[in-house]
């Protein structure tokens, strides 16, 4: 079971003891762009189909390389905290929180409806909410673009590279070559949580708490550093703020709000109670600190 530790304590522990796993290695040369972040001209969930069009044009999309700070410097206090958190959370393998992190690997519009099923109290059939799906699929591409720039600019290695520590997904060369900073999952999860909270404001608190846990899952999973997830949330917030300035996005929000309200008021399947119990327990635990 994870427990929150102050940042200073995490850092001190890392500086006084050798980490259980290998120190980070210098960044690799940049791989081809398509392995660094999702392609904007392809649907990463259904590569045989063309992607939706993002809402924001290049001229108005936020420059997240300028917005985000650099990742922690080598041998800095923040990097020590990153390494300590990675090493400590390896002990969660096999726990309910580990299983939740593995489930949180799923991304995209349909997956996000499942992610929020417990906090919404119902499983929504995606075929009944095409406006909601369209909203999330288009916004996902804006978040992907916001993530791509910093990933390629900083080329930070993921925490499992150079060691054999357990992670909650299969190790692949493609995953190792896709850079760590910022976390695209955390950016997407937080942006989607902000959108969902705006669509269902009466459930904003549990929605945002679940969105926070979705990002924390990337640390539990072992595929991102703490600071990657913190930057991912800033990234997601930046994309959401820019999207709010787009008239088409706002119009689609209104369509999705009406559609989602109707779907929530109708007859739907109940979410898996075992999954909801696990999530409820995880959300009551102190969050990972950044």
User: How much is the pLDDT for 1?
Assistant: 41
Q: At 276, which helix (H) or strand (E)?
A: helix 273-284
Tokens at 265, concatenated: 């008021």
Is 50 part of any domain?
Answer: no
pLDDT score at 48? 53
Positions in the chain short of pLDDT 50 = 1-45
Q: What is residue 290's predicted lDDT score, i.e. its pLDDT? A: 53
Number of domains in the chain: 1
> Model pTM?
0.82
pLDDT of residue 281: 85
Report the CATH number that the domain containing residue 262 is assigned in CATH: 1.20.144.10
> Is 36 contained in some domain?
no
Would 136 be classed as within a structural domain?
A: yes
pLDDT recorded at residue 49: 58
- C-alpha–C-alpha distance, residues 232 and 143, integer Å: 10
Give dist(CA 273, CA 288) in Å, integer. 25
pLDDT of amino acid 43: 45
Distance between CA atoms of 263 and 261, rounded to whole angstroms? 5
For residue 174, is it within any domain? yes
CA 235 from centre of chain:
10
Alpha helices (H) in 17-89, listed in sequence order: 33-36, 64-67, 77-89
Whether residue 103 contacts residue 17, with contact meaning beta carbons closer than 8 Å, is answered with no
Task: Examine residue 250 and state whether it is found in any structural domain, yes or no.
Answer: yes
Residues known to be catalytic:
185, 218, 224, 228
pLDDT, residue 288, reads 74
Q: Which pLDDT score is estimated for 41?
A: 43
The pLDDT assigned to 226 comes to 97
| Measured CA distances, 290 to 10, 212, 233 (Å) | 10, 12, 11
The residues near 4 (Cβ < 8 Å, ≥ 6 apart) are 285, 286, 287, 288, 289
Q: Residue 88: give the domain boundaries.
A: 77-284
Q: Does some domain include residue 37? A: no
Residue 175 lies in a domain: yes
SS3 content of the chain, % helix, strand, coil (to 5): 60, 0, 40
What pLDDT does 26 receive? 44
Q: Kindly state whether residue 27 falls inside one of the protein's structural domains.
A: no
């Amino acid at each position: 079971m994870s427990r929150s530790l102050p940042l200073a304590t995490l850092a001190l522990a890392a500086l006084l003891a050798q980490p259980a796993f290998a120190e980070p290695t210098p960044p690799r040369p940049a791989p081809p762009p398509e392995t660094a972040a999702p392609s904007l001209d392809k649907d990463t969930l259904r590569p045989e189909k063309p992607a939706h069009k993002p809402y924001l044009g290049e001229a108005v999309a936020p420059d997240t390389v300028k917005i985000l700070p650099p990742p922690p410097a080598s041998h800095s206090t923040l990097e020590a905290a990153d390494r300590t958190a990675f090493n400590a959370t390896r002990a969660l393998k096999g726990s309910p929180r580990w299983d939740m992190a593995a489930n949180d690997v799923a991304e995209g519009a349909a997956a996000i409806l499942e992610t929020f099923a417990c906090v919404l109290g119902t499983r929504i059939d995606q075929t009944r909410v095409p406006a909601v799906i369209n909203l999330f699929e288009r916004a996902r591409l804006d978040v992907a673009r916001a993530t791509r720039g910093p990933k390629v600019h900083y080329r930070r290695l993921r925490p499992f590279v150079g060691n054999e520590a357990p992670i909650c997904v299969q190790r692949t060369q493609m995953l190792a070559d896709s850079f760590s900073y910022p976390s695209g999952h955390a950016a997407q999860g937080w942006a989607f949580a902000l959108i969902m909270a705006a669509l269902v404001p009466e459930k904003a608190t549990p929605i945002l708490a679940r969105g926070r846990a979705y990002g924390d899952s990337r640390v539990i999973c072992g595929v991102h550093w703490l600071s990657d997830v913190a930057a991912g949330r800033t990234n997601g917030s930046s994309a959401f703020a820019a999207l709010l300035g787009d008239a088409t996005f706002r119009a689609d929000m209104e369509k999705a709000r009406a559609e989602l309200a109707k779907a929530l008021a109708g007859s739907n399947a109940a979410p898996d109670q075992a999954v909801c119990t696990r999530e409820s327990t995880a959300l009551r635990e102190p969050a990972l600190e950044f």
